[in-house]
Structure formats: C-alpha cells, structure tokens
Structure 1
Amino acid sequence: MADATAQTAPTTPARPGRFKEFWRYFRENKGAVVGLYIFAAFLLLALFAGLIAPHDPLVQYRSATLVPPAWQEGGTWSYILGTDPLGRDMLSRLLYGARYSFVVGVVVVILASTGGILLGLISGFAPKWLDTFIMRLMDIILSFPALLLALVLVAILGPSLVNAMIAIAIAYQPHYVRLTRAAVIAERSKDYVISAKVAGARLPRLMFITVLPNCLAPIIVQAALSFSNAILDVAALGFLGMGAQPPTPEWGTMLAEAREFILRAWWVVTFPGLAILITVIAINLMGDGLRDALDPKLKRS
C-alpha cells in the first residue's frame, strides 16, 4: 500500500540550486562573462607573480635604463615590456602591482561595507532623531567628491598606501549606509519581519539574521563597483604622490615616476595605464552582470 502511494504521489520539478540560477542569469550578459574571465586572468597573474615575473621588481639594472619592449627596435627579450627610467623590468613591476591593486580593492570594500552596513542597519531600525543624525552626517561626507575627500584625509594622516585605503574606505562608506538603510526600510514592514517580532526575536537577531540576508543583493553589486573605483582612486593618489610611495610597484606610482618620459619612452606610461583601464572595465562589466543576476526586477522567466 505504501509503495502504491509512493508511486502515485505527484512529483514536482526540483528547483535549481542558487548558484546555478545565479549563473544562468549572469551568463546572459556576455560582457559580464568577458569581464569575469579578464578579472580571473589578472587575479591569477597577481597570485603567481612570484613565479611568472622574470625579474625582481625592485632591482635596478643601471645598464638597461629605458630599454624598449622586445618587439621594438633596440629591445631585448630579457625585458619583454621594456624597462623604466631606473632600469627596472616593467613586466615584473606590473605583475607585482596587480597584487597591490587587488589588496587595495579587497581592503577598501571590507572596511567601507562593514562600517556602512552596520550604520545602515542601525539607521533603518533607530528612532527618527538618530536616523536623521546618521543620514545628515552621511550627506555631509557625500557633499565632497570622493577623491578630494580621500586626498584631504591622506594629507592629514600622512602619505602611504595604508592611509590611502583607510581614506578611500571612509569616502565610500556613505554609499553603503544609504543603500542598506533603504533596503532595511523596504524589508522591515514585510510579513516575515513582523512574524519574527511577534515570535519574540530580539533587535540584534532581527537586524543581522532576519533582515540583513535579504538586503545583500544590492550591497554585493555596490561592492563590485567600489572595488573598481578603489583601484582607480588609489592609482590617482599614487600618481599625486599621496598613495603608495616609491619604490613600491603600484600602478599609479609607476605612472607618476614615468610622466617625465612620456615622449621619450611611451611604454613606461602606456602599460600601467592599460593595466588600470582593463582591470577597471572588467570589474565594472562584472558589476553589471551581478546586477542583472541579483535584481529580481531584471530577471526574465
């Protein structure tokens, strides 16, 4: 009897896993997939820079200053992308510079999102006076251009890569606060939140366990965009001499050291600039794909 019941019971099609569903929507955006592959390639180059780089990025070969790339007349295959004004190998410095760029992006996103999400949750559940105070403070920070605010903060803290990351994280934090607050306000009036309140859930549980997981989709997209902006802004600070300091092989610092030789040696500015450009474009394309895959309004059945 039990076997007959089991055989006649209706079967419902299994719902695809979350990752499979996410990937199905993500790969519909061809640009996002290309950006993902480029990002993965740069990430692998950064991780294995110690094995791939043909030279030490800090060693100066004084007999090989401003050597052109291998395929240009006068170049040599010992320096595939040429050397800089101090005789350091450009390819090695670019590979190690990718490490600094990715570390910068990760640290800035972690600092900005952690503080921003916490303040956004507090603002979304706080009394009106505290919510108003937090949001007006964020409005004051947003009234300054992010790069200008970061430049002022680095000038106060002192020029270094660590201080540049802290300054940029502070400049990006209001975006996470406003985004999280808006998502919390939209979620807290829904039935599942009211049910949790009736069941006796305490405020910390409501904030971090009940509501926050349902607010992560737009925050993840913002994190991807912040990652690329952080790389760009740290490069700008390095170019201005307020970020990573020489001889650190950071892309913005490499541009700053080579700006006097733009006309004499095109490669010393072209390759770091291309590295920044390609990385930022790839991450932005990924951000578009994340938005398409995570925003239910953009999903097509």
Structure 2
Amino acid sequence: MADASSQIARTVPTRRPSRFKEFWRYFSENRGAVIGFWVFLAVFLVAVFADLLAPYDPAAQFRQHALQPPFWQSGGTWEFPLGTDALGRDMLSRLIHGARFSFFVGVVVVVVAATGGILIGLIAGFAPKWLDTIIMRLMDIILAFPSLLLALALVAILGPSLLNAMIAIALVLQPHYVRLTRASVINERTKDYVISAQVAGAGLPRLMFKTVLPNCLAPIIVQAALSFSTAILDAAALGFLGMGAQPPTPEWGTMLADAREFVLRAWWVITLPGLAILVTVLSINLMGDGLRDALDPKLKRS
C-alpha cells in the first residue's frame, strides 16, 4: 500500500512556480537589490504624491526666512524642516517636487531611447550585411564622443530647456540599445524556434517582433534600469551647467547650480539635492544588479 501511494506521488507532476515568484526568488537573493527596490519605490511614491506631501509650493518665497538652516541646527525651526534657500524657498518642498522631475526625465528618456534603439537594433540584426555595417558604424561614431559632452552640444544647438535636455540624453543613450538588441537578435536567429517559424512561413515583421524580440528582452530590461539612473545623472549635470531645466524649476541639478555660491555659508542648500541624486541613482543601480541576476539564466543558481 505504501509502495502504491509513493508511486502515485512520484507520478503526480509538481506545480511549477509562477514566473513572478521565480523572478522574485532570484531577485531577493541580492539584498542590495531589495534595499534598492524599496528605496526606489519610496522615491517613486514621493514623486507621484508630491502635491500632497510638499508643505509649500516649491516656488513660494519667504524672504524673511532666507537661508534658514534645518530644524536640528541652531536657528532652524519645524516650519521649514530642511531649511530654505537664498530666496526663502522651502528646501523640503523643492526636493519632493524635484523627485517628480527626475522620474519624469528618466521615464521619457528610457522610453524614447529604448523604442528607437530596439527598432534600429532589430533592423540591423535582420538587415543585409551592408546595411548592418552602415548602422553600426553610425552607432560607433556616436559612442566615440563622451556622452555628456555630446548631450551638451545637442542642447546648445536645440536651446537650453528640460525638453531639449531629455531629447539629447535619449539620442546619446540610444546606441547602447541598438548594439544590445542587434547582438541578441543575431544570437537568437540561429536557434531552432526561429528557423521553424521561417519554415512555417512567418513574415519578417512577425519574425522580428513576435518571435525574436520577446526572447531578447531580459538584457534590454537591465539596460533600461541602468539607463534610468544615467538619465537622471545627465539631466542633473545639464541642469547644473545651465543647459537643462531652467529656474525656478525645482530640478535637483538646477538646485545645485543655484546653490554654488552658498556652499560655505549654507551647506544644506547644496548637500541635500546632492544626497537626493546620490540615493536615487544608487538605489536604481542596486536594483539593476538584482534584475541582471534574476533575468540572466547564466547567473541563476539552482
């Protein structure tokens, strides 16, 4: 009787865990990635609910409280917990709204760069050799320039604004998606399921977007996470140089630029935006490492 029950137990198939549970199991093995995810989620929620969380309008000026220190320092009050800047604007409100601008920049840049890069990479992966060579040499030319310098030159041509900064950063990041997508496509094209689809009469668009592309998404997702942090850093750098968001926009890089002359008199006006950039970018990079570990089958441990 025991042998019969054990035989039945062996023949009953075990239920495979869902893809999300399997992904989370590998992702959660990286503690740094989990911490980065929760920090990223917290900053994201702050950005979404900025209007509710910020105690003041980010552009409101309280001139009688200009350069007031944070509450824990002598002269600070709970009325302005993180102090004020040179125009009497509340630092906490500006940092909270700055998170919204940073996330907006990251999302727009990643969507634009990834969409264009994936499309061009797919074309290069399936194109004849001469067209593939032309596309990749153009990408190599773009990559030969320092990314920030090229973005700065593009913004100088288009004109300083947050929109033009996002366009410039997206164009600079696009070659990374092109190269990554093309390499993945070339690797997948020789596999049996692609050859079977070709034999079955699948057209080129179906072969590109429905057969090959879904199997190339894992490294692209990791690249998107890392590009998100790069976009925030580049936008802050352009804002610091006066070529990105323009005052009085509460963007973290612009806040750093406005605070340069007060670095010795009022440390908080330059330290707090810098810490906001540091924490956000670090959390995204940690999360990107976890995504790489969870999505790359070569790194998964049984």
What is the TM-score normalised by the length of structure 2? 0.97
1:101-133 residue CA offsets vs partner (Å, 9 max, x unmatched): 000000000000000000000000000000000
Deviation of 1:275 after TM superposition, in Å, equals 0.1
* Structure 1 consecutive aligned stretches of length 4 or more whose deviation exceeds 3 Å: none
Q: CA deviation at 1:247?
A: 0.1
**Matched residue, 1:252:** 253
C-alpha deviations, 1:204-248, integer Å up to 9, x for none?
A: 000000000000000000000000000000000000000000000
Determine whether 1:145 maps to 2:173: no
Aligned partner of 1:4 in structure 2 is none
Separation in 2, partners of 1:105, 1:95? 16
Aligned to 2:88: 87
Asked if 1:202 is matched to 2:203, the reply is: yes
The one-letter code of the counterpart of 1:187 is E
Q: State the one-letter code of the partner of 1:146.
A: S
Residue pairs, 1:236-251, within 5 angstroms: 236-251=237-252
Counterpart amino acid of residue 222 in structure 2:
V
C-alpha separation in 2, matches of 1:15 and 1:125: 35
User: Which residues of 2 match residues 1-301 of structure 1 at below 5 A?
Assistant: 10-301=11-302
Greater Cα shift, 248-257 or 47-56: 47-56
Structure-1 separation of matches of 2:69 and 2:56:
16
Counterpart code for 2:208: M
What residue identity is the alignment partner of 2:32? G
- Distance in 2 (alpha carbons) for counterparts of 1:25 and 1:63: 54
C-alpha displacement at 1:52, in angstroms? Answer: 1.1
The answer for unaligned runs of 5 or more in structure 1 is 1-6
Tell me how far apart the structure 1 counterparts of residues 16 and 196 of structure 2 sit (CA, whole Å): 26
Name the amino acid aligned to 2:186. I
**The residue matched to 1:151 in structure 2 has which SS?**
helix
**Displacement of 1:71 after TM fit?**
1.0
Q: In 1, distance between residues paired with 2:77 and 2:117?
A: 50
- Residues 49-87 of structure 1 deviation map (CA, whole Å, 9 limit, x = unaligned): 111111110011111100000111001110000000000
Within 2, Cα distance between the matches of 1:147 and 1:13? 52
Partners of 2:191 and 2:267 in 1: CA distance: 59
Amino acid aligned to 1:212? L
- Rounded Cα–Cα distance in structure 2 between residues aligned with 1:71 and 1:237: 32
C-alpha displacement of 1:48: 1.1
Q: How far has the Cα of 1:32 moved from its partner?
A: 0.0
Give how far 1:8 is off: 5.9
| CA–CA distance in structure 2, aligned partners of residues 135 and 231 of structure 1 | 26
How far apart are the structure 1 equivalents of 2:257 and 2:85?
Answer: 12
The aligned amino acid for 1:195 is S
Instruction: Output the amino acid matched with 2:92.
Output: L
CA–CA distance in structure 2, aligned partners of residues 263 and 220 of structure 1: 42
Q: Which runs of 5+ in 2 are unaligned?
A: 1-6
Tell me the distance in 1 between the aligned counterparts of 2:108 and 2:52: 24
Identity %: 78
Deviates more, 1:48-57 or 1:211-220: 48-57
Structure-2 separation of matches of 1:20 and 1:98: 30
Aligned positions, number = 295
Q: Which residue of 1 aligns with 2:3?
A: none
Give, in whole Å, the separation in 2 of the partners of 1:91 and 1:101. Answer: 15
Secondary structure in 1 matching 2:135:
helix
SS of the equivalent of 2:259 reads helix
Could you list the per-position Cα deviations for residues 177-214 of structure 1 after superposition, in whole angstroms to 9, with x for gaps in the alignment? Answer: 00000000000000000000000000000000000000
Question: CA offsets per residue over residues 30-52 of structure 1, 9 Å max, x none?
Answer: 00000001001111111111111
**Separation of aligned partners in 2, 1:202 and 1:177:** 22
